[in-house]
C-alpha cells in the first residue's frame, strides 16, 4: 500500500466513524418511568412512542411501568430515570421532606389538571354524600394519593372521626365489595373499573371526586431530573412537543390508542382499558379546569394554594416552595398545546 493510498484510507475511515458517531448522537436516550402499570392512561405516552413521534424528535425514549408516584419521584431523583410521570403532591412532598437533596426532580408539564382521587362507596351503604363519611371506616394503601391528600378533603368538607384500614392495592376494591370497609379512596378511573371487574355495577357505586368537593388539587405531571434540565433542555422541549402531539391523537381515537398499550401488555382487557382511558380523558385531561387553564399549564395562585395544603396535610419537614417544583419554560407554544376539544353535548 502506497503512502497516498494509506492516507486516503485513513481519511475515509475517519469520515465514516465521524458520520456514524454523529448519527448515534442525534438520538438522545431518555429513560422514562410511568406512575403505574400499563393500563389505559399509559396510552398518553405509549402512543407517541409507537407512532414514532419521539424518534422523529431525535429521541430514543424507553418507557417503563411504575408502581406508584412516590417511587417514580425517587427513581428520577436517584438518576435511574431521566424523566417520569407522577402525582404533583408526591413531588411536593419529596421536595419539602428532602430540602438538602441535590437532585430534586422538577415538574415541567401538567397532564392531569385535576387530581383523579375520589372517595367511593357502595350505594347500599349509608354513604350518599360527603357528610356521611363522618366516623366511617375508610380503606386504601398507605401510599395512595387520595389517602395522603384526605386531610385536605376532610378539612374542606368538615369530616372527622374517620378510621383507616391499610391494604395492598389489589385488595382495595375487594374489601369494599365484601363490606370490610365503608368506603375507599383511589383514582376514579382505577377503582371504579376495578370494582366492576369484581362484579359491582358502576351504577351501584357512589363516587365523590375531590375536584367536585372543594379540593382543586392538581394531579399528575411530567417530571425531569435536574441533570437533564442542566445538560439537555432541548431534549425536554422535544419530548414535550412529541408527547403533546400524541395526546391529541389519543383524545381523538382512544380505542385505537389502546392497541399501543396492548402491545406492551398483551393480557390487558381491551374493552375495560378503553373505558378507563376515556374516563381519564373526560375527568382529568380534558376537564373544564384544563380547558380553562390550557393543557400542560398551571396557574400560580392555584399552585401556591396546593403547596400550602400539601405542607399542612403531609406534615412536611419544610414548607413546599411552589417556585422550586415547577418549570414551565420547556412547554410547547400555546398553539401547539391547543389539543383539548370541546366536549360534545
Which pLDDT score is estimated for 345?
Answer: 66
Strand stretches in the chain, DSSP E: 28-33, 59-64, 83-87, 106-110, 117-122, 137-139, 163-165, 183-187, 205-209, 220-224
Nearest one of 284, 274, 272, 140 to 196, comparing CA atoms = 272
Cα–Cα distance between 188 and 120 in angstroms, integer?
8
Non-local CB neighbours of 340 within 8 Å, separated by 6+ positions: 251, 285, 286, 290, 291, 295
Cα–Cα distance between 19 and 137 in angstroms, integer?
65
Confirm whether 10-18+21-112+218-330 and 117-212 share one CATH topology: yes
Q: How confident is the model at residue 15 (pLDDT cuts 50, 70, 90)?
A: very low
What DSSP assignment string belongs to 32-45?
Answer: EE-SSSS-GGGHHH
Cβ-contact 89, 310 below 8 angstroms:
yes
Which pLDDT score is estimated for 1?
Answer: 53
Residue 328 has pLDDT above 80, yes or no: yes
Which grid coordinates are listed for 159?
369530616
State the average pLDDT over residues 2-27.
51
State the average pLDDT over residues 325-340.
97
Which pLDDT score is estimated for 343?
Answer: 73
Which CATH superfamily includes the segment(s) 117-212?
Periplasmic binding protein-like II (3.40.190.10)
Cα–Cα distance between 327 and 108 in angstroms, integer?
5
109-140 pLDDT, tens digit per residue, is 999 999 999 999 999 999 999 999 999 999 99
Which helix (H) or strand (E) segment holds residue 288: the answer is: helix 288-293
Non-local CB neighbours of 244 within 8 Å, separated by 6+ positions: 295, 296, 332, 336, 337, 339
Cα–Cα distance between 314 and 306 in angstroms, integer?
12
What is the architecture, at CATH level 2, of domain 10-18+21-112+218-330? 3-Layer(aba) Sandwich (3.40)
Calculate the average pLDDT of the chain: 92
53-74 pLDDT, tens digit per residue, is 999 999 999 999 998 899 999 9
Which pLDDT score is estimated for 25?
Answer: 56
195-244 pLDDT, tens digit per residue, is 998 999 999 999 999 999 999 999 999 999 999 999 999 999 999 999 99
- Per domain, the residue ranges of the chain are 10-18+21-112+218-330, 117-212
Which pLDDT score is estimated for 68?
Answer: 87
Cβ-contact 64, 32 below 8 angstroms:
yes
Which grid coordinates are listed for 8?
486516503
Residue 5 has pLDDT above 90, yes or no: no
SS3 295: coil
Cβ-contact 114, 211 below 8 angstroms:
yes
Which pLDDT score is estimated for 19?
Answer: 45
Residue 2 has pLDDT above 90, yes or no: no
Amino acid at each position: 500500500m502506497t503512502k497516498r493510498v494509506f492516507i486516503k484510507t485513513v481519511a475515509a475511515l475517519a469520515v465514516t466513524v465521524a458520520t456514524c458517531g454523529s448519527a448515534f448522537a442525534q438520538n438522545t436516550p431518555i429513560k422514562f418511568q410511568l406512575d403505574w402499570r400499563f393500563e389505559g392512561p399509559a396510552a398518553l405516552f405509549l402512543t407517541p412512542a409507537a407512532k414514532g413521534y419521539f424518534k422523529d424528535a431525535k429521541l430514543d425514549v424507553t418507557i417503563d411501568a411504575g408502581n406508584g408516584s412516590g417511587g417514580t419521584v425517587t427513581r428520577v431523583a436517584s438518576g435511574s430515570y431521566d424523566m417520569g410521570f407522577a402525582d404533583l403532591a408526591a413531588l411536593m412532598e419529596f421536595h419539602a421532606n428532602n430540602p438538602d437533596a441535590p437532585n430534586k426532580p422538577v415538574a415541567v408539564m401538567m397532564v392531569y389538571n385535576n387530581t383523579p382521587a375520589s372517595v367511593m362507596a357502595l350505594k347500599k351503604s349509608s354513604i350518599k354524600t360527603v357528610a356521611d363519611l363522618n366516623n366511617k371506616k375508610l380503606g386504601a394503601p398507605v401510599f395512595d394519593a387520595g389517602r395522603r391528600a384526605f386531610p385536605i378533603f376532610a378539612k374542606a368538607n368538615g369530616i372527622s372521626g374517620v378510621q383507616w384500614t391499610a391494604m395492598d392495592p389489589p385488595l382495595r376494591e375487594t374489601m369494599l365489595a365484601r363490606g370490610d370497609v365503608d368506603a375507599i379512596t383511589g383514582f376514579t378511573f382505577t377503582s371504579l373499573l376495578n370494582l366492576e371487574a369484581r362484579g359491582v355495577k358502576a351504577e351501584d357505586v357512589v363516587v365523590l371526586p375531590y375536584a367536585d368537593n372543594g379540593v382543586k388539587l392538581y394531579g399528575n405531571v411530567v417530571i425531569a431530573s435536574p441533570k437533564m434540565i442542566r445538560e439537555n433542555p432541548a431534549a425536554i422541549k422535544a419530548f414535550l412537543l412529541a408527547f403533546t402531539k400524541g395526546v391529541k391523537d389519543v383524545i381523538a381515537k382512544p380505542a385505537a390508542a389502546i392497541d399501543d398499550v396492548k402491545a406492551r401488555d398483551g393480557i390487558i382487557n381491551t374493552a375495560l382499558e378503553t373505558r378507563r382511558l376515556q374516563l381519564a380523558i373526560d375527568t382529568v385531561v380534558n376537564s373544564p379546569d384544563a380547558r380553562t387553564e390550557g393543557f400542560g399549564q398551571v396557574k400560580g395562585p392555584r399552585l401556591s394554594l396546593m403547596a400550602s395544603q400539601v405542607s399542612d396535610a403531609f406534615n412536611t419537614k419544610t414548607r413546599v416552595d411552589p417556585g422550586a417544583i415547577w418549570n414551565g419554560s420547556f412547554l410547547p407554544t400555546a398553539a401547539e398545546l391547543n389539543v383539548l376539544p370541546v366536549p360534545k353535548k
